[in-house]
Amino acid sequence: MRLSIITSAALAAALLASPALAASGTVKILGTAQGSPVTGTLKMTDGPKGLSVVGDVNGLTPGLHGFHVHEFGDCSDSGKAAGSHYNPANKPHGNALKDGQEHAHAGDMGNVEANSQGVAHVNVTIPGMALAGGKMNAAGRAVIVHEKADDFGQPVGNAGGRVGCGLVVVTGN
C-alpha cells in the first residue's frame, strides 16, 4: 500500500513538472501608430527558471529597443494605457534578466536588437516571473517595445516612445 502512495506521488510530481502542462501564452505585437510597420508574435511559457519569451518583432528601426512587460493589458492611446513597467515589488528600474527580481522591476527585460532588416529575435527568460498565477505574473498585461534603447537609468530607462504593444494572452496550460 505504501509503495502505491509513493508511486502515485512521484507520478503526480512528474506530471506537474512536465513541459506539456506548463502554462503557455502568446503576445501579438502591433505598432502603436496608424500605418506602423511594427508587428510580431511572441510565445510565452512557464519554466523552472521563470517565464520564457520567444519570437520575433518586425518593422523596427535597426538597433536596440527597450522591451518591457507593463502593468495593464491595454494598448490604446499609443500604448500609454499599458501604464508603467510591471513592478509589483516596488524595485528600481534595471535589467531583471541580468540583475534578478531583487534589483529590477519584474517586467524589465532590457533591450531587443533589430537587425538591418528591422527584425528583432527574442529569446529570453524572465527570472521569478510566471505567465499566470504566483506573485509576479504576466497574464493580462502588455508587452511594450520602445523606440530607443533602454539605458537602465532611473526611473524607467529613457527608452522613449512606445512603438509596439501586445497583450499577454494565456492559451493553454
pLDDT digits (tens, 9 = 90+) for 45-95: 999 999 999 999 999 999 999 999 999 999 999 999 999 999 888 888 887
Cβ-based neighbour number of residue 170 at 10 Å: 17
Question: Does the structure show a pLDDT above 50 at 19?
Answer: no
Highest mean pLDDT among 81-95, 109-123, 153-167: 109-123
Percent of the residues in the chain that have a pLDDT greater than 90, as a whole number: 60
**What pLDDT, on the 0 to 100 scale, is given for residue 147?**
96
Per-chain mean pLDDT for the chain: 85
Average pLDDT of the segment spanning 26-32: 97
Question: Does the structure show a pLDDT above 50 at 172?
Answer: yes
Gap between the Cα atoms of 131 and 143, Å rounded: 12
pTM of the model: 0.84
**What pLDDT, on the 0 to 100 scale, is given for residue 94?**
80
Cβ-based neighbour number of residue 122 at 10 Å: 21
Helix segments in the chain, DSSP class H: 2-17, 96-99
1 against 115, higher pLDDT: 115
Q: Which CATH class is domain 22-172?
A: mainly beta
The label of the residue with cell 527585460 reads 109
| Cα 40–Cα 113–Cα 154 angle in degrees, nearest 5 | 105
- Going from N- to C-terminal start, the domains of the chain cover 22-172
